[in-house]
């Protein structure tokens, strides 16, 4: 019986999607399908040439970042930065997702040693891998961080 029901539902969806008069409904169905079929691979994929730049932190010059460490797992509400010493000049901070889309671009004032950047988890920062770039007149530091790296619900742990 279930097999017949599934065939009927599949046929109904196919006919609905192919009907030009149901264009709005078709767009909704496709959007929902796309939203629920996001691959975790896409959210957590790495950008290969960023990975090599992370290893080559020699480009940073005098700019030394004490935290966050590379690969930090953020809670999704903010990311905390601390420099080894206050910045001598203004800094430019860029945060990108794993598709290299710029999500945040901001300026950090000179003489700042620590600062926090709020992350809007519902809008821009779902679970996944992200990169931040901090640029000074002297050089650039690039590192990755994660939002909700561990997707296992707490009730199933241990």
User: Tens of pLDDT along 37-62?
Assistant: 556 667 788 888 888 888 776 565 77
* Cβ atoms 61, 139 nearer than 8 A: yes
- Rounded distance between C-alpha atoms, residue 92 and residue 34, angstroms: 34
In the block, tokens 């992350």 appear at: 119
Q: For residue 116, what pLDDT band results from cuts at 50, 70 and 90?
A: very high
Given CA atoms 66, 71, 74, 76 in this order, what sign does their dihedral have?
positive
pTM to 2 decimals?
0.69
The CATH number of domain 41-147 is 2.60.40.3080: yes
| Chain segment 128-142, per-residue pLDDT in tens | 899 999 998 878 899
User: Domain segments of the chain: what residues?
Assistant: 2-37, 41-147
Residue 108 in tokens: 């950090």
Q: What average pLDDT does the chain have?
A: 79
The phi and psi torsions of 18 (rounded to 5 degrees) equal: -85, -10
């Amino acid at each position: 019986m279930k097999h017949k029901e599934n065939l009927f539902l599949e046929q109904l969806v196919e006919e609905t999607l192919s009907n030009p008069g149901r264009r709005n409904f078709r767009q909704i169905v496709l959007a929902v399908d796309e939203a629920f079929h996001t691959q975790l691979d896409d959210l957590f994929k790495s950008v290969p040439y960023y990975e090599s730049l992370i290893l080559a932190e020699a480009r940073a010059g005098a700019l030394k970042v004490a935290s966050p460490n590379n690969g930090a797992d953020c809670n999704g509400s903010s990311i905390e930065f601390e420099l080894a010493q206050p910045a001598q000049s203004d800094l430019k901070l860029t945060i990108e997702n794993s598709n290299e889309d710029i999500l945040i671009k901001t300026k950090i004032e000179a003489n700042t040693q620590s600062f926090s950047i709020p992350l809007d988890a519902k809008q821009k920062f779902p679970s996944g891998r992200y990169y931040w770039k901090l640029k000074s007149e002297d050089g650039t530091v690039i590192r990755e961080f994660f939002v909700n790296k561990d997707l296992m619900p707490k009730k199933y742990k241990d």
